[in-house]
A and B are shown apart, each in its own frame.
Chain A
Amino acid sequence: MPYLPNPELGNRIITLMAALVLVLQIAAVGQRWLISSIRIFAVQSFLLGAIAAVIAYFNQAEHIYIAALLTVFVKAGLLPRFLERLVKRIGIRREIEPLINVPLSILVAGCLTLVGYVVAESFYHPEETSARAALGHNTLAVAIALFLIGFFTMLNRRKAVTQVLGLLSLENGLFLAAISLTYGVPLVVEIGIFFDVLVAVMVLGLLVFRIREAFDSMDVSKLRSLHE
């Protein structure tokens, strides 16, 4: 009879890591240096991979290992490397002042976390107090918060690269939701999604590059020639 790990413990670990991910996200909101925000993203993605692994371990769901590996490989390895190369090539190191200044942005991020919990509240069915429901409720809140904060960074930051980062961290939120609520979506879909994310980033990278060429700046708030 194989060793059955205690899911209770698993849930605690997962919740903890999820919280860590959230903290990282908020930290990213305050971050000024492009390179380090990329790094933050990398760490965050790694943590997600870890969460996936933990879930896989505690529920003997082998196919999640693949998802975990993919995450670590693509999101924590490939994409950050690519983005760093891009940034180096373009030679911009600092983010200019965001539209909303840093302390305020962090405050907003906090509120968004709150929103996440408020929304997740309505999913909490106290009658079924299974560990998993509780976990779902918790991590869903985190996921929504991640999503919203990622979104917020996109419309808060001016640099093209940081918008890409925002998009990616928003995807991370989705991944967290997928992995913790449903133990991962079907593998095919998973792979499809990863592939798409990869291509998307490539395309965006190409765009960033050419925008840099055309406008010799990466400040997307300068892209205003198309309007009514």
Chain B
Amino acid sequence: MILLGLLIVPLIAGLAAFLLRRRPVMEVVNVTAFAVLFGLAVVLCAQILREGSVSLWKGFFYADALSALVVLLSAFVALACSIYAVGYFRQDERDGVFQEDEGVRAWFVVHKLREYYTLTPLFVFSMILVALANNLGILWVAIEGTTLASVFLVMFYGRATSLEAAWKYAIIGGVGLSMALFGTILTYYSAHQVLGTDTLAGLNWSVLVGNAAQFDKATMRLAFILILLGYGTKAGIAPMHTWKPDAYSEAPIPGAAMLATGVLNCALYGLVRFYILSSKCLGPQFGSRLLIIFGLMSMGVAVPFILVQKNFRRLLAYSSIDHSGIMVLALGFGGPLGLLGMLLHMTFHSITKPLLFFCAGNVQQHLKTDLFQQAKGGLIHSMPLSGAAFLMVTLALTGSPPFSLFQSEFTILRAGFSGGYFVLAIFLISFLVLIFSGFLVHIVSLVLGPDPGLPAADTCRWKKFSALGLATVVVVMGFWIPTPLFALIERATGIVMGG
């Protein structure tokens, strides 16, 4: 029942926003809807912790600890972004960003805000669906759904560059997803020979996982490769990452934040589901090797672009490439530590990343540019809150203690060692150090320095609240993780470990 609720709430919110066209109403609807959604997600988690798994419509929808975690994170991100979005778009309106392209002749875009407030819930809906769908085919459909919804977010501002970004995103995403679909079909095929032609359940994860051991090995290998490339594209793993910087720097901040966390989580979720199958069928080594290669490659690719970067919106994208690399690497390291580390990292990343986007958004709206050399530095004087938060969240995201990402990275490192990947661990650390250095140099040049004499910003209540709230969560998470949340993560780890 609760599963249905989780799916319906965003749909209603979207519909409502589509029908009631007045801005305040849409804002209220949006925020409340996502607040409710988050509440439901929490309830779901509680239920999962009690009962282990929930399913609906004879297992068409199915939620275990892993999916509950993803739902929770998606809902959290959605809520944070919806609060921030209010302030963000009001600012945009004040700056007259939407004026120049009123005559958008797409048949259902009437008004920009309406477009946003209608699309976001759909976007979130499909994210939730990803987590709740038991059927791997539906999972694919849902992820495709997130792509379609987010394409519109990317082309939101209708600039030439946003169209370009949207095109690249759509095409690359499309290719990626068709690879994923191919992989899904092959999985079905390899299962098919075991399960026979049971039409619907044949793609149900809960059924597949049971007898993954007897699947046809060769098919499963091909399937996993395709899935890795496919969902890897969505997760932005090198060398399929190329769409990310463009998309992230063009989408409106809240949308970008959801792309960087929600979609990333969904893609990784899909990857993990198949990883479980493949490791049951082929043993963990096959998957691990590929995952480690791609994970390290992503981190390695992210490094130089972070070191020499002109645009702080693109900087964020590369950071998220780096983080997806870390998570994939952790998955590759495997073992209880690695998987725990991966899920912890997913959690902490989704909690921390939005704040980075918010700070960047504030700065961008304040300076009317996203280029470093056009920013004169010394933002701390004109926007003390955002500036300080920016520095803090930079440190947090680059994995320095006491912030929570350090815990997960430490765990992942331990996993690497206990997996015997000594040299790889050294690579991991040196990449992390380089990324830290690059990031900090950029952000410090932005935040610190003599007062350039800009007018004071940081006035909007909504933006302040979202940033402060999130910052508090980030700091607290460094020292205290709610026990049920950790329990959930541990149980999810158990699921990934097998069964």
Contact = CB atoms under 8 A, between A and B. Distances in A.
A226 B245 contact: yes
Nearest to B160: A214
A214 B246 CA distance: 17
Interface in A193-228: 193, 195-196, 199-200, 203-204, 206-207, 210-211, 214-215, 220, 223, 225-226, 228
Nearest to B183: A174
A44 interface: no
A126 B170 CA distance: 41
Contact of B151 (A123, A178, A207, A226): A207
Contact of A185 (B148, B161, B168, B185): B185
A228 B164 CA distance: 15
A170 B178 contact: yes
Contact of A122 (B218, B309, B310, B314): B218
Contact of A177 (B106, B144, B185): B185
Nearest to A201: B174
Contact of A193 (B181, B189, B305): B181
A174 B4 CA distance: 31
Given A182-B188, A193-B141, A167 B182 contact: no
A64 B199 CA distance: 11
A206 to B, nearest CB: 6
A108 B462 CA distance: 56
A186 B181 CA distance: 13
A154 interface: yes
Interface string A168-190: 00110110011001110111110
Nearest to B181: A174
B170 A207 contact: yes
B167 A192 contact: no
Best-surrounded residue of A178, A182, A183, A220 (most CB of chain B within 10 A): A182
A181 B161 contact: no
Nearest to B250: A226
Nearest to B249: A226
Nearest to B173: A200
Nearest to B159: A214
Nearest to A155: B175
Given A174-B181, A177-B186, A186 B175 contact: no
Interface in B199-233: 199-200, 202-203, 216, 218-219, 222
A183 B189 CA distance: 9
Given A119-B222, A200-B148, A215 B160 contact: yes
A55 B387 CA distance: 64
A182 B168 contact: no
A187 B199 contact: yes
A188 B186 CA distance: 17
B138 interface: yes
Contact of A189 (B138, B186, B218, B309): B138
Interface string B434-476: 0000000000000000000000000000000000000000000
A138 interface: no
Given A188-B200, A189-B135, A207 B181 contact: no
Nearest to A191: B141
B35 interface: no
On chain B, which size bracket covers the interface?
35 or more
A74 interface: no
Interface residues of A, number: 45
Contact of B170 (A63, A183, A192, A204): A204
Contacts of B305: 228
Contacts of B152: 203
B135 A207 contact: no
Contacts of A167: 171, 174-175, 178
A147 B175 CA distance: 10
A159 to B, nearest CB: 12
A160 B164 CA distance: 11
B163 interface: yes
Contact of B189 (A173, A182, A211): A182
Interface string A74-110: 0000000000000000000000000000000000000
A151 interface: yes
B231 to A, nearest CB: 15
B163 A211 contact: yes
Contacts of A199: 148
Nearest to A124: B218
A185 B203 contact: yes
A63 B155 CA distance: 38
B192 interface: yes
Contacts of A37: none
Contacts of B158: 210
Interface of A: 61, 63, 119, 122-123, 136, 147, 151, 154, 160, 163, 167, 170-171, 173-174, 177-178, 181-183, 185-189, 192-193, 195-196, 199-200, 203-204, 206-207, 210-211, 214-215, 220, 223, 225-226, 228
6 contacts: A167-B171, A178-B188, A189-B138, A211-B167, A225-B164, A226-B165
Given A123-B219, A182-B202, 12 more contacts: A123-B216, A167-B178, A170-B175, A178-B185, A187-B199, A189-B140, A189-B203, A200-B148, A203-B148, A211-B167, A214-B160, A220-B167
